[in-house]
Structure formats: structure tokens, C-alpha cells
Amino acid sequence: MKNLIFLLALTLLFACQNEKSTTPPATKIPVQHFDQKITDLGLVLPAVTKPVANFVNIRQAGNMLYLAGKGPRKADGTYIKGVVGADLTQEQGYEAARIAGINQLAVLKDHLGSLNRVKQILKVTGMVRATPDFGNQPEVINGFSDLMVEVFGDAGKHARAAVGMGSLPRGIAVEIDMIVEIW
């Protein structure tokens, strides 16, 4: 009798643990207002352009998005070009990085349908075409980082690299890629 009770208890315990392990936790997506924030900031997201080379603008793996580098393409379709520290000031580089951020937001919204699905900006790599003696790449890439925090608040704070480059494609001043987690 003791053995039978012991076996029943073990069976019940195993069944309960098995049930717990196969039932996924409920994920509740919090209410986000990032699309509204874009409007409130007076930002206009441009149409997303197709890459000119053999790559894609964005690649999704599960809830992770990997965005290809984007440059400072202005609303009129031209790019901010030049070398920060020679042709461009640090402030002009900051503005170029902000415009690259607007272009990345456009890619995100185009892919997701809504920026409200963004959980957090995880990692950013900012490349600045600069003179060899220019050392303020972080201040330039702040144009991008500040924009992400304006739009996403704490979810926009990210790990980052800000590096100088001797050249960038087609002479653009900055190029920035990013990794984003979504709901």
C-alpha cells in the first residue's frame, strides 16, 4: 500500500512539473506610444530605399532585428558628405548622425508596421568619416543616440561604439547600424 501511494504521489508530481514546463509564460506587450512620439517631435520618416548592393536593410531572427548601416540621406534624397574636422564641423556631424537615425527609424517602422513593437535598442555602431586628428566621434554619434532616447526613452539607451573612419561609402559623413529587440 505504501508503495502504491508513493507511486501515485510521484506520478502526480511528475505530471504537475511536466505541465509547468510545457506551459509558456504569458507575455503581455506593454502599451507603447513611440509612433505618437515621432509625430510629437515633428519628425517625418522618409520612404525606405532599397540597398544599392547585395544586402538587405533589415534581418529578423526571432525577436531580434539587425539593421544594416544607414547614412545621412536628407529628405531631398541627397546625402551629407564630407570629412568631419575638415569639411564639416562636429555640430554638422551630429546633425548627420541624427538624420541617419531618422532613416533607421523609417526602416524599423517599414518592417514592423509600428514602432510601438520596439522593446529596446540594444547596440549601435557609429562610424564617422573624420580627419586623423579628430577625436570627438562620440559627440558626433550622440546625434543618433540622443534621437533614440527622445523617441524611446529608457528603451532607447543602448550599448555603442563610435569610431573614426578614413572613408565611408560614396563620401558620406557617417554610417550607423543597430540591433533592436522587439515584442
pLDDT digits (tens, 9 = 90+) for 29-40: 778 899 999 999
Angle between helices 137-152 and 90-112 (to 10 degrees): 40
Residues paired with residue 159 on neighbouring β-strands, in sequence order: 123
What does the pLDDT read at residue 23?
A: 45
The full set of domains in the chain, from first to last, is: 34-182 (3.30.1330.40)
pTM attached to this predicted model: 0.84
Rounded Cα–Cα distance for residues 60 and 75 (Å): 27
Rounded Cα–Cα distance for residues 85 and 131 (Å): 6
- For 154, residues 6+ apart whose C-beta sits below 8 A from its C-beta are none
At residue 65, the 3 state secondary structure works out as strand
What does the pLDDT read at residue 167?
A: 98
Residue with cell 520618416: 45
Percent with pLDDT over 70 in the chain = 85
Q: What is the mean pLDDT of the chain?
A: 90
pLDDT in tens, the chain (183 residues): 566 555 555 555 555 555 444 445 556 777 889 999 999 999 999 999 999 899 999 999 999 999 999 999 999 999 999 999 999 999 999 999 999 999 999 999 999 999 999 999 999 999 999 999 999 999 999 999 999 999 999 999 999 999 999 999 999 999 999 999 999
C-alpha to C-alpha distances, 56 to 9, 90, 93, 99, nearest whole angstrom: 56, 30, 25, 20
